Structure 1
Amino acid sequence: MVSSFNRSMSGHFGRRGSSLGSPKVVGHKKSWISPSFHVLVVIGSLVSFILAIGCGYHFVFPSLSQALHGHRISKFVNSTGSCDVFKGRWVRDDGYPLYNGSGCPFLERGFNCLANGRKDRDYLRWRWKPNNCDIPRFNVQDVLERLRGKRVVFVGDSMSRTQWESLICLLMSGVEDKKSIYEVNRNKITKRIRFLGVRFSSFNFTVEYFRSVFLVQNGLGPKNGPKRVKSTLKLDKLVGISKEWIDSDVLIFNTGHWWTPGKLFEMYLQMNLNYELMMDTAKHSGYRGCYFQVGRSLKLGMSTTTAFRTAVDTWASWVETMVNTNRTRVFFRTFEPSHWSDRNRRFCKVTRNPMSVTRGRDQSPFSDIISKVVKNMTVPATVLHVTSMSAFRSDAHVGTWSDTPSVPDCSHWCLPGVPDVWNEIVFSHLLANNGLPLQ
């Protein structure tokens, strides 16, 4: 089932003062003493009752008390104060960014736009404001305490790596001894490494990243298959490293950006070919590349969206059978829109401020498929529906401020930036639902 983000925020309710009006005096003057005495008795009893309940609440339910008051989040309820955190707008907030990128050695150089020469800082100062509530500010000290002895795992493509780096930098800002934080294999953060894990030794937890751009297996094509089939995606089999993800406390997935003809097929088409023609060419021409496979059967005519749905179904079955969701909180982040100026991804215009309209970028068939699959799952999983909220942020992409400025980038995000908000939402959800209890 889908874990709902409809909720009521305790910080969203105003504090209303209450007063008891003086009792109306009726009749002879000497008769007012008796009703006043009764009112005092009632008030005294009510105060005693409230104090008793409050003490019981504080001593019997300390963890719940901390969850509600320490994070200013109330339980998710269906009421007039309910809130979908993914429906809202970006508002200017000079309290952002939440960390200094130059102080985080685990921030990949290609995502550190300021270090790569970006002069304007306006893109750093935007906060996501849901329509009917607020996302609590990231409480780094409390999150560090709640992660003691735990394991957070990100699985996916480079967009997943961006969110992984964001979380490490967010958490690192609250640790005094920076030397106590290290990559477990002493690796430098790069694009090519399949596994990266950063350990916070003072708190005994790790934040890990597994590179799996499709989630399902990629291998050589059948021996007797067509020559153009150089490799296949085995849509009914999750990648072999999936066994490494099971023993985790928080598990966050993404995929989508590699499910394109340009990634799947080695094609060199004329610049004026549109997406539909590219798909048709991939299916029916002699171009060599990666095709789809289910069991031993090649699916040469299968569309990308159908293949994506089959792969996400495979992922869902794996979660249902292999993951103990009583312990592990599972998230699947939807597709993050790009903001290229042309279909062929040659030109990238990064704006100064967020867009006022999404121009259709708030919709994605991949995001719709993820939502539908998760909705039909038999175990709890949560969709991080970031497609719409990210569609406005044409100002927050890497652009030419990367480690290779000659190659524009309107897909990846600068850090600090948009992925920080994704992590704020993840931990707001976890803390509100007591998904990370103190040890």
Structure 2
Amino acid sequence: MKIASFNRSTSFSRRSLGTTSPRVTRLSWISRIFHVLVVMVSLISFTIAIGCGYIYVLPSLSQAFYGDGTSKFNDSFRSCNVFDGSWVPNDSYPLYNATECPFVEQGFDCLGNGRTDKDYLRWRWKPKTSDIPRFNVRSTLEKLRSKRVVFVGDSMSRTQWESLICLLMTGVEDKKSVSEVNGNKITKRIRFLGVRFSSFNFTIEFFRSVFLVEQGSMPRHAPKRVKSTLKLDKLDNISNHWVNSDVLIFNTGQWWVPGKLFESGCYFQVGNSLKLGMPISTAFKTAIDTWASWVQKNINTNRTHVFFRTFEPSHWSDQTRRFCNVTQHPLSEARGRDRSLFSDTVLEVVKNMTVPVTVLDITSMSALRSDAHVGNWSDIPLTPDCSHWCLPGVPDMWNEIVLSYLLSNYDEWTDMDLLTPVLC
């Protein structure tokens, strides 16, 4: 409307040129200038509006599609809050028989070790405002064809590794086609274990790195109480084996306690300097910063999907870790176990990373599962265990969340005919 008015004024001025009084001519020029200013102001306002929209909307779109530190999985699920929910009974569980899976450690096969109640096997995680896709083993096997999945961490990571292998083996017709690459028996004493699914040409590997950073021998001139150190500014010396993977899942936390550190003579080191008075919380933050820098420098996140799984709460009856109260059903409330300094630190560090990393914030959901620990049903029955989980069990759900992310959120993994994406 303003542009049309401006054109009419211009045409009128041309027709009248030379026949109007100076006063009228001056008013005509003032009118033209006014209309020009109106158009310019309109164009400038429009440009500013577009620019603001670009600044506000484009980062949101970039974050949604490519990730900003915590990746689009965390962003999309932040609104859904997939980790806020409850455990509901489900008769379709368990998804496999641990006794029939050759890659489950005997210590985690609770039924095989004499546990008689089976209620703990029949629970599925249900987020409040979303739904996790049902596990489709054949579709997943096809999507993992020619891939390399790597777990890095402590025994909790090894448990999740075993869980994923057993879940996938249910869809393999020739069980003998699945084997440990070096013929090793599954044990906590080996730093590397790799299982190959030869029919689908992919491997699922585990690297034992309980601190993620390098553990070294006693430095020269160190006090007698120092037997070894954690080099907080250096990632584990086997870290070069973790690159060139398609899926990379980290965890740590269980060993970052005085009993595993100071009481065994292990202290912290940065560069050549011993940090004898450094608290564990500060050391852990330094180590996770080192991990984050390593990921940003060494991992091609266009190929590799990086996950960090948060701390898994235990359910000991007291601080001595001598008594383990395994309940029959999940807890109705977390009773203070839904938060962890280790989990909070990981979330803080990942939030500030410049490459996409997905945090699997399983601390709260796992805090409710006091019924699913090994307890007295391990291969060492006189030693209770309220830290590790029975298989099948809680780690299966962690893996279902990982798989739902991989198959639903990235183009190279997504196929709507294979798996329905998570719904909010």
The TM-score bracket by the shorter chain reads: 0.7 to 0.9
Gap runs ≥5 in structure 2: 1-68, 416-424
The separation in 2 between residues aligned to 1:227 and 1:373, in whole angstroms, is: 34
The separation in 1 between residues aligned to 2:107 and 2:154, in whole angstroms, is: 15
Q: Which amino acid aligns with 1:102?
A: T
Alpha carbon RMSD of aligned pairs, Å? Answer: 1.4
User: What does residue 396 of structure 2 align with?
Assistant: 420
Residue from 156, 172, 177 that aligns with 2:174: 177
User: What does residue 341 of structure 2 align with?
Assistant: 365
Residue 289 of structure 2 corresponds to residue 313 of structure 1: yes
1:236 and 1:311 in contact (8 A); partners too:
yes
The separation in 2 between residues aligned to 1:383 and 1:172, in whole angstroms, is: 26
User: What does residue 274 of structure 2 align with?
Assistant: 298
Q: Which amino acid aligns with 1:356?
A: S
| Deviations 1:176-225 (CA, angstroms, capped at 9, x unpaired) | 00010000000000111110000000000000000000000001121111
Residue 372 of structure 1: CA displacement? 0.4
Residue 265 of structure 1: CA displacement? 2.7
User: What does residue 340 of structure 1 align with?
Assistant: 316
1:181 and 1:201 in contact (8 A); partners too:
yes
The separation in 1 between residues aligned to 2:167 and 2:317, in whole angstroms, is: 31
Aligned residues with identical type, % of pairs: 73
1:30-41 equivalence runs, <5 A:
none
The separation in 2 between residues aligned to 1:376 and 1:438, in whole angstroms, is: 28
Residue 241 of structure 2 corresponds to residue 244 of structure 1: yes
Q: Which amino acid aligns with 2:200?
A: F
2:406 and 2:413 in contact (8 A); partners too:
no
User: What does residue 400 of structure 1 align with?
Assistant: 376
Q: Which amino acid aligns with 2:175?
A: K
User: What does residue 192 of structure 2 align with?
Assistant: 195
Q: Which amino acid aligns with 2:178?
A: I
User: What does residue 153 of structure 1 align with?
Assistant: 150
Residue from 87, 90, 96 that aligns with 1:90: 87
1:217 and 1:238 in contact (8 A); partners too:
yes
1:232 and 1:291 in contact (8 A); partners too:
yes
The separation in 2 between residues aligned to 1:242 and 1:223, in whole angstroms, is: 26
The structure-2 alpha-carbon separation of the partners of 1:436 and 1:96, relative to structure 1 and needing over 3 Å to count, comes to farther
1:145 and 1:438 in contact (8 A); partners too:
no
Residue 317 of structure 1: CA displacement? 0.2
The separation in 2 between residues aligned to 1:420 and 1:355, in whole angstroms, is: 19
Runs of 4 or more above 6 Å deviation: none
The separation in 2 between residues aligned to 1:92 and 1:293, in whole angstroms, is: 48
The separation in 2 between residues aligned to 1:435 and 1:173, in whole angstroms, is: 26
Q: Secondary structure at the match of 1:321?
A: helix
The structure-2 alpha-carbon separation of the partners of 1:422 and 1:289, relative to structure 1 and needing over 3 Å to count, comes to same
1:40-439 equivalence runs, <5 A:
76=76, 82-266=79-263, 289-434=265-410, 436-437=412-413
What is the TM-score when the length of structure 1 is the normalising length?
A: 0.77
The separation in 2 between residues aligned to 1:335 and 1:206, in whole angstroms, is: 25
Q: Which amino acid aligns with 2:269?
A: Q
2:376 and 2:385 in contact (8 A); partners too:
yes
Structure with greater proportional helix content: 2
Residue 432 of structure 1: CA displacement? 1.4
User: What does residue 46 of structure 1 align with?
Assistant: none
User: What does residue 71 of structure 2 align with?
Assistant: 3
The separation in 1 between residues aligned to 2:344 and 2:209, in whole angstroms, is: 21
Q: Which amino acid aligns with 2:295?
A: V
The structure-2 alpha-carbon separation of the partners of 1:204 and 1:123, relative to structure 1 and needing over 3 Å to count, comes to same
The structure-2 alpha-carbon separation of the partners of 1:108 and 1:376, relative to structure 1 and needing over 3 Å to count, comes to same
Residue 6 of structure 1: CA displacement? 5.8
The separation in 2 between residues aligned to 1:401 and 1:246, in whole angstroms, is: 37
Residue 5 of structure 1: CA displacement? 3.6
The separation in 1 between residues aligned to 2:411 and 2:295, in whole angstroms, is: 18
The separation in 2 between residues aligned to 1:356 and 1:87, in whole angstroms, is: 13
Q: Secondary structure at the match of 1:240?
A: coil
Residue 435 of structure 1: CA displacement? 5.8
Q: Secondary structure at the match of 2:244?
A: coil
Residue 4 of structure 1: CA displacement? 4.1
1:112 and 1:414 in contact (8 A); partners too:
yes
| Deviations 1:234-278 (CA, angstroms, capped at 9, x unpaired) | 000001110000010000000000000011133xxxxxxxxxxxx
Residue 100 of structure 1: CA displacement? 1.6
In our comparison, the structure showing a higher alpha carbon Rg is 2
1:160 and 1:253 in contact (8 A); partners too:
yes
Q: Secondary structure at the match of 1:389?
A: helix
My pick for the range that moved more, 325-334 or 225-234, is 225-234
Residue 86 of structure 1: CA displacement? 0.5
| Deviations 1:323-380 (CA, angstroms, capped at 9, x unpaired) | 0000000000000000000101000010000011111000100000000000100000
Task: Count matched residues.
Answer: 347
Q: Secondary structure at the match of 2:388?
A: strand
Q: Secondary structure at the match of 2:308?
A: strand
The separation in 1 between residues aligned to 2:243 and 2:73, in whole angstroms, is: 24
Residue 138 of structure 1: CA displacement? 1.0
What is the TM-score when the length of structure 2 is the normalising length?
A: 0.80
The separation in 2 between residues aligned to 1:381 and 1:77, in whole angstroms, is: 14
The separation in 1 between residues aligned to 2:296 and 2:256, in whole angstroms, is: 24
Residue 226 of structure 1: CA displacement? 1.2
The separation in 2 between residues aligned to 1:369 and 1:327, in whole angstroms, is: 26
The structure-2 alpha-carbon separation of the partners of 1:203 and 1:309, relative to structure 1 and needing over 3 Å to count, comes to same
Q: Secondary structure at the match of 1:163?
A: helix
